[in-house]
Amino acid sequence: MAGHSKWANRVHRKTRQDAKRSRVFAKFSRAIMVAAREGGGDPEHNATLRSLIDQASAAEMPKDNIEYAIKRGLGEVEGVEFEAVRYEGYGPGGVALLIECVTDNSQRTVAEIRNLMSKRDGKMSGAGSVTWMFEQKGVITVPRSDADYDTVFLASAEAGAEDIVDEDEEYWEVRTALEDFHLVREALREQGIPIERAELSMIPTSSVQVPYEGAGKLLRLLEDLEEHDDVQHVYANFEVSDKALETYEAASE
C-alpha cells in the first residue's frame, strides 16, 4: 500500500524538478527565516535550520540567498515579518491533515486554506485535534540503486537510527529520534552513502485506508495544498493502493 512515505517522496521529486522556479526558493527562504528567528542562526545547534539549509542546497538554491534568509530571520536585515502557523483538519475519507505554513498574513492564509479544503470535501478542525496522531521524527531517504539494505542498516543502526522503512520501491527510508537525526545523517555520509532527502517530519502513528474510488479526491486536495505559496509541508495519515497512486500520477502528467 502507498501512503505517507510514497507521497512525501513524490513531493520531493517534484520539488527537485521545479527547483529553478522562484516559488520554490521563496518557500525555502521563508522557512529558513522563521527557523533562524526561533532557534538561532547556527545550524550546528539548530536542527531545523540545518535540515532546511540541506534541502535548499539540494534544490540548487544559491548560497547567498540562504545566508540572506538567515540574516533576515536574525533581524540583521529589515523586511517583511513571517510567522510559522499550523492548521489541522480532515480530508476526504476522514484522513487527518497537518498543514504547516509560513506567512506574513495568517488571516489571509487560513481563509485560503479553508477554501481549498472545502472544495475537496475537507474541513478544518481545532488546534490539537489531529496532532496527537503524529510524532516528529528525522527522515532520511537513500536511493535503493545506490546502496543495499544491509549497508544502509549497519551504518544507520550503529549511529542510533530507530527503523528502516521498506515502503517505496525506489528508496530506503531511515527514521530517527530528533536527537539522533544529525548523527545518523552524518554517519551515512561518512560511509559514502548517497542521501536523497533528509528532514524533520511528522510521521502518522496510524493510517486510514482510502478506497480506490476516493483516492483521487484526496490526492488532488494534497496537491492543491502543496502548491499553495504559504504551505511548507502537508502531513496526512492515509494509505491508498499503488494502483490508485499510479492512476493519479498518470492523469497528472
What is the H or E stretch that residue 6 is in? helix 4-17
Distances (CA, A) of 134 to 5, 65, 153, 197, 199: 13, 32, 24, 20, 15
* 3, 84, 122, 198 from 222: Cα distances, Å: 12, 19, 10, 21
Architecture of the 2-74 domain: Orthogonal Bundle (1.10)
Measured distance CA(31)–CA(78) in Å, rounded: 16
Show me where the domains of the chain are located: 2-74, 84-130+207-248, 133-204
Whole-prediction pTM: 0.82
User: Could you read off the pLDDT tens digit of each residue along the chain, which spans 253 residues?
Assistant: 456 666 676 666 666 555 556 678 888 999 999 999 999 999 988 988 988 998 888 778 889 999 999 999 998 888 778 899 999 999 999 999 999 999 999 999 999 999 999 999 999 999 999 999 999 999 999 999 999 999 999 999 999 999 998 877 888 999 999 889 989 999 999 999 998 888 889 999 999 999 888 888 999 999 899 889 899 999 999 988 878 777 877 777 6
DSSP 87: E
Domain 133-204: top CATH class:
alpha beta
C-alpha grid cell, residue 61: 538554491
- Say if 2-74 and 133-204 have the same CATH topology: no
Residue range 84-130+207-248 in CATH 3.30.70.980: yes
